[in-house]
Amino acid sequence: MAFVAALVIVFAAVVAAGLSSEVSGSQNTVTVTSTAAGSPGAATAQNSSSPYELTLVITPNSAWNSTTTAPQFWVVTPTGLVSSANISLPAHRLIQLTVEDLDTGNDPLPAQYSQVTGTVGNTEMMMNLTAASQNPTNSSNYSVVSSLDAQGQVSHTFTIPQLGINIPSPAQSVEVVDFTINQTGVFPWQCMDPCGFGPSGWLGPMSSAGWMQGSVTVT
Ligand SMILES: [Cu+2]
């Protein structure tokens, strides 16, 4: 139940961070508790004896231009959202990544990217935001999964191909995973679910840093 309790805190942070203005008074406290120091460049700022925490949020309606919106990955920090174009992570240390997918639609994607890979157990803890918002202490709203339905259950992925890391997320969900990167370098990250523009879905956000791709610098 401790993990469920932790996810309830994450859920509270999601609400505080973006879904509701009613709880703005508690935003500072909640945000610091669950998303501390995920900012680029802050890879060594957290207590190194505990997991390094990185929180990403996918906003569904960022302004692509004056007439078009698109989904966009952001890094959540105690002081707000910052670009996901360049994400810093520590090498040789357990990383706990939370992906908050606030998007509302799913798109088919290649089956291999519906698998959870590169995480502890090759699994992710997945929270159904809709169900959990109605019954947050019901543990059945939090499931550990190793794969999703490639045809109808994936909204986006956070994928680092060179590291074998693939984390698929359904619309309106929160994922929590643990992984360790035992090398240093700069590695591209990419959403593998064609959520952009054009016939292929790969134009626009899918090929733009800070939207559906970017780089991860591991030091
Ligand atoms: Cu995407």
Q: Are 13 and 56 in contact (CB under 8 A)?
A: no
* CA 103 – ligand 1 centroid, Å: 9
CA torsion sign for 15, 96, 146, 56 is positive
Mean pLDDT of the chain: 85
Q: Are 116 and 168 in contact (CB under 8 A)?
A: yes
- Least confident window among 37-41, 120-124, 143-147: 37-41
Domains of the chain, with CATH numbers? 2-218 (2.60.40.420)
* CA 171 – ligand 1 centroid, Å: 10
The pLDDT confidence band at residue 48, using thresholds 50, 70 and 90, is confident
* CA 154 – ligand 1 centroid, Å: 9
* CA 48 – ligand 1 centroid, Å: 31
pTM of the prediction?
A: 0.82
Cα 58–Cα 104–Cα 187 angle in degrees, nearest 5: 30
Q: Are 13 and 35 in contact (CB under 8 A)?
A: yes
Average pLDDT estimate for 147-157: 98
- Least confident window among 46-50, 72-76, 102-106, 107-111: 46-50
The pLDDT confidence band at residue 45, using thresholds 50, 70 and 90, is low
* CA 211 – ligand 1 centroid, Å: 8
Cα–Cα distance for residue pair 114/111, rounded to 1 Å: 5
* CA 25 – ligand 1 centroid, Å: 31
Judged against a pLDDT cut of 80, whether residue 15 lies above it is answered with no
Cα 117 to chain centroid distance, Å, stands at: 15
- Percent of the chain at pLDDT above 90? 78
Judged against a pLDDT cut of 50, whether residue 173 lies above it is answered with yes
Cα–Cα distance for residue pair 158/96, rounded to 1 Å: 14
Average pLDDT estimate for 153-162: 98
| Pairing mode, strands 213-218 and 86-89 | parallel
What is the model's pLDDT at position 25? 34
Give the dihedral of Cα atoms 27, 60, 176, 94; nearest 10 deg.
Answer: -80
Cα 89 to chain centroid distance, Å, stands at: 14
* CA 205 – ligand 1 centroid, Å: 8
* CA 159 – ligand 1 centroid, Å: 10
* CA 195 – ligand 1 centroid, Å: 5
What is the model's pLDDT at position 159? 98
What is the model's pLDDT at position 49? 80
- Over the stretch 102-126, which tens digit does the pLDDT of each residue have? 999 999 999 999 999 999 999 999 9
Contacts of 107 (CB under 8 A, 6+ apart): 154, 155, 193, 194, 195, 201
Average pLDDT estimate for 22-30: 33
* CA 60 – ligand 1 centroid, Å: 10
Strand order in the sheet with 173-180: 80-83, 69-77, 52-63, 94-101, 173-180, 124-128, 142-145
Q: How many CA atoms lie within 13 A of 196 on its CB side?
A: 20
* CA 179 – ligand 1 centroid, Å: 21
Contacts of 186 (CB under 8 A, 6+ apart): 215, 216, 217, 218
